[in-house]
Amino acid sequence: MLRYIVKRLAIAVFVIFGTSALTFFLLSLTPGDTAVIIIKRAFVGDIEYNPSIVEVKATKDLLGLGNPLYIQYLQWLINALHGDFGRSYVTGRPVLDEILPRLNATIELAIVAAAFSLLVAIPLGVVSAVRQNSGIDYLSMAIATFFVAMPNFWVALILILIFSLYLDLLPATGYGGIEHLILPVITLGAGMAAITMRLTRSSVLEVLRLDYVRTARAKGLDERRIILRHVLKNAMIPVITVVGLQLAHLLAGTVIVETIFAWPGIGKLLIDSVNARDIPVIQGCVFFIAIIVSLVTLITDVIYRFLDPRIKYE
Amino acid sequence: MNKIILFKNFNEIAECWFRQRTKHFSKQKTLVIGLIMIFGLIFMAIFAPYITPYDPVEVNLRNNLLPPSWEHPFGTDNLGRDVFTRVIYATRIDLLAGFLVVGISMTIGLLIGIIAGYYSGKMDKILVGMIDTFLALPDIILALVIVSSLGPGIYNAIVSLSLFGWVKYARVSRSLTLSVKEKEFIEAIKAIGASDFYIITRHIVPNIIAPILTLAALHIGHAILSLAALGFLGLGVQPPMPEWGAMLNEGRAFLRVGWWLSVFPGLMIMTTVLAFNLLSDGLRDIFDPRVREEVIK
């Protein structure tokens, strides 16, 4: 087990550096002279400012922008490992100070959304499987099929339309109390719940067909006990993997949901910096998102293998 | 599977394959419904000018923000353009862009995946590392990075989504190729002296294409969702070009006074994604024999 964890950890580190290198090179394709942009936006703070050749040269030397790209990346990486991600072109503050306060808000949103979706999806999935082909099964499957196809930004708009504008029950935007959390959580959680529900249903159906369930029934155990104690344990294994992967992709959803609900998370920061072409902040955001995604995937894999001893550690 | 290898070209395979399976087609409700919806959408895209009398981009300020009526079934937007017309014309852009992303991704992914799986070795290890790296991040985040360096616009959106779309195809086609190339019939054809090119084009590709097509159907829906998301964030299709996501973004400011601006483009996205998801579900049921047996039962 330990060997497996170490191996997975090594892969995670490789992936984090890989994605950061990828983003670095992609962002270096940005048209325009980086030194000029930095002088204009970070040093002078005036887009109209026209820097002299001497100033551009000095900046290039100072920041090592004349070096080949891979050296620049290594410089960035070494600084990043020391906690220095550079300074935002827009605010001039260190990137780390921009990102860290935002992480909490995003993690809060993601965890509540995931919890919400599991609370809805797993009971519904189990009931649909146990009562296969019943009214509740068809209804929940139909709703799930629609929710998988709905774009989350549209769900968000419809929720705002109904609950904020027409019923005036919940605030449309903002951050703070529970009332601010409800609409973003439903938006983010609904899509995830739909996928988890379908998976739970098919997984439970598969396990219900196994011999040991028949044995339990033949023994005379009551159905509730069979489902809760015997079936659920095995049926949840594939669900956990998918939930883990979805948690990682929930972060992509937060980019849009945070923008709509003005939620001060890392996703909104990423969009704002993309719109402002604030390259150090984009680079930093992607780095942190990569770390979170890799960690979540790693933990999911380890839990999965821990839960199911049938899977061999490679 | 083994039956298929005796055939020399794809047409014969397809014919045999269809004869075997068409009888199950009618039982595939999801597939049929999905196909009907997709044909409907394609029809709308092609015959857009005949369906609606209005122009999708012409501004007519006298008619701004009219609620849905017989003349304007989906109402008009803040610039007096007919929302129904714009939604119909947007089908052209969204479908075409979706097909393009999938076409490009599938071609690149198949090529890289098959070569890596067939020749294995060092190339393969590098590829697996690359796949892990690309798949670590949600594609929309990587698309955002590219769009932020190349600038917003429909072409850059297509390029950035394709640049990351190929990875899934590469992963699936690599693992399928790995299992197919171990089969005896490949060994036999190698013994006859067939070239690698012949083996790959005539034997590997026909044997792995079914799951790849299922993936592609699912991917079209996903690609259209991502394109709309980029459009919604103002980074995809630029106004005044009609695109569902961009339309939702424009309508967002008028949520209070014109709900129709935010409702109908979203309904179209949902219908389109639903159609391709149904198609993909149906294809998977047909291709996966284990599931198929259940369907027949």
> In this structure, are residues A15 and A294 in contact, taking their beta carbons and an 8 Å threshold?
yes
| pLDDT at position B67 | 80
Beta strands of A70-221 (E only): which ranges? Answer: none
> In this structure, are residues B140 and B226 in contact, taking their beta carbons and an 8 Å threshold?
yes
CA A296 to chain B, closest CA, distance in angstroms equals 10
Strand partners, A94: A87
Q: What is the pLDDT of residues B281-297, one digit of tens each?
A: 888 877 765 544 444 33
Q: What is the pLDDT of residues A62-81, one digit of tens each?
A: 777 777 788 888 888 888 88
Choose the closest CB to B148 out of A150, A260, A274: A274
A247 touches chain B (CB under 8 A): no
CATH number, residue B49: 1.10.3720.10
> In this structure, are residues A174 and A262 in contact, taking their beta carbons and an 8 Å threshold?
yes
Could you tell me if A12 and A113 lie in one domain?
Answer: no
Q: C-alpha angle B43/B45/B46, rounded to 5°?
A: 65
| pLDDT at position A45 | 66
CA B295 to chain A, closest CA, distance in angstroms equals 14
Q: Is residue A45 a part of any domain in this protein? A: yes
Q: C-alpha angle B242/B253/A170, rounded to 5°?
A: 130
A249 touches chain B (CB under 8 A): yes
Q: Is residue B62 a part of any domain in this protein? A: no
Q: Quote the domain boundaries for residue A68.
A: 2-95
- Placement of tokens 């620049």 in the chain: A72
Q: Is residue A12 a part of any domain in this protein? A: yes
Choose the closest CB to A148 out of B129, B141, B277: B277
A15 touches chain B (CB under 8 A): yes
Torsion of CA A240, A242, A247, A249, to 10 degrees: 170
Could you tell me if A131 and A168 lie in one domain?
Answer: yes
| pLDDT at position A42 | 67
Q: Do residue B129 and residue A160 have CB atoms under 8 angstroms apart?
A: no
Could you tell me if A232 and A295 lie in one domain?
Answer: yes
Using DSSP's 3-state secondary structure scheme, residue B29 falls into helix
Could you tell me if A85 and A108 lie in one domain?
Answer: no
Could you tell me if A137 and A90 lie in one domain?
Answer: no
The rounded mean pLDDT for chain B is 82
Q: What is the pLDDT of residues B191-215, one digit of tens each?
A: 888 888 888 888 888 888 888 888 8
Q: Do residue A151 and residue B147 have CB atoms under 8 angstroms apart?
A: no
Q: Is residue B191 a part of any domain in this protein? A: yes
Q: Ranked by mean pLDDT, which of B74-78, B106-110, B186-190 comes out on top?
A: B106-110
CA B54 to chain A, closest CA, distance in angstroms equals 25
A vs B, Cβ pairs < 8 A, gives 133
Task: Mark which of A62, A77, A95 sits at the end of a domain.
Answer: A95
Omega before residue B68 within 30° of 0, cis: no
Report CA-CA distances (Å) from B26 to A156, B278, B294, B295, B296: 37, 14, 15, 11, 11
A157 touches chain B (CB under 8 A): yes
Query: Minimal Cα distance from B235: which residue of A?
Result: A275
ipTM of the predicted structure? Answer: 0.82
pLDDT value at B18 more than 60:
no
Query: Minimal Cα distance from B248: which residue of A?
Result: A154
Could you tell me if A116 and A44 lie in one domain?
Answer: no
Please give the average per-residue pLDDT across A10-33, as a whole number: 83
| pLDDT at position B224 | 92
Count of structural domains within chain B: 1
Q: What is the pLDDT of residues A212-257, one digit of tens each?
A: 888 888 888 888 888 888 888 888 888 888 888 788 778 778 888 9
Q: Confidence band (pLDDT; 50, 70, 90) for B4?
A: very low
Identify the helix (H) or strand (E) that includes residue B251.
helix B244-252
| pLDDT at position B135 | 76
CA B21 to chain A, closest CA, distance in angstroms equals 24
CA A146 to chain B, closest CA, distance in angstroms equals 7
Using DSSP's 3-state secondary structure scheme, residue B82 falls into strand
Torsion of CA A250, A253, A259, A263, to 10 degrees: -20
Q: Is residue A312 a part of any domain in this protein? A: no
Instruction: Tell me the helix, strand and coil percentages in chain B, rounded to 5.
Output: 75, 0, 25
pLDDT value at B13 more than 60:
no
pLDDT value at A183 more than 80:
yes
Q: Quote the domain boundaries for residue B210.
A: 28-53+81-288
Q: Is residue B66 a part of any domain in this protein? A: no
- What are B205's two structure tokens? 């590709």
Count of structural domains within chain A: 2
| pLDDT at position B107 | 93
Q: Confidence band (pLDDT; 50, 70, 90) for B1?
A: very low
Query: Minimal Cα distance from A296: which residue of B?
Result: B136
Give the single-character DSSP code of B61: G
d(CA A8, CA A19): 16
Q: What is the pLDDT of residues A120-171, one digit of tens each?
A: 999 999 899 888 888 888 998 888 888 888 888 899 999 988 888 888 777 7
| pLDDT at position B296 | 38
Q: Confidence band (pLDDT; 50, 70, 90) for B5?
A: very low
Sign of CA dihedral B53, B55, B58, B62: positive
Could you tell me if A104 and A211 lie in one domain?
Answer: yes
Q: Is residue A314 a part of any domain in this protein? A: no
Q: Is residue A50 a part of any domain in this protein? A: yes
A292 touches chain B (CB under 8 A): no
Q: Confidence band (pLDDT; 50, 70, 90) for B105?
A: very high
Could you tell me if A51 and A183 lie in one domain?
Answer: no
A251 Rama sector, left if φ>0, alpha if ψ -120 to 50, beta otherwise: alpha
| pLDDT at position B12 | 55
pLDDT value at A27 more than 80:
yes
Identity of the residue numbered A277 = R
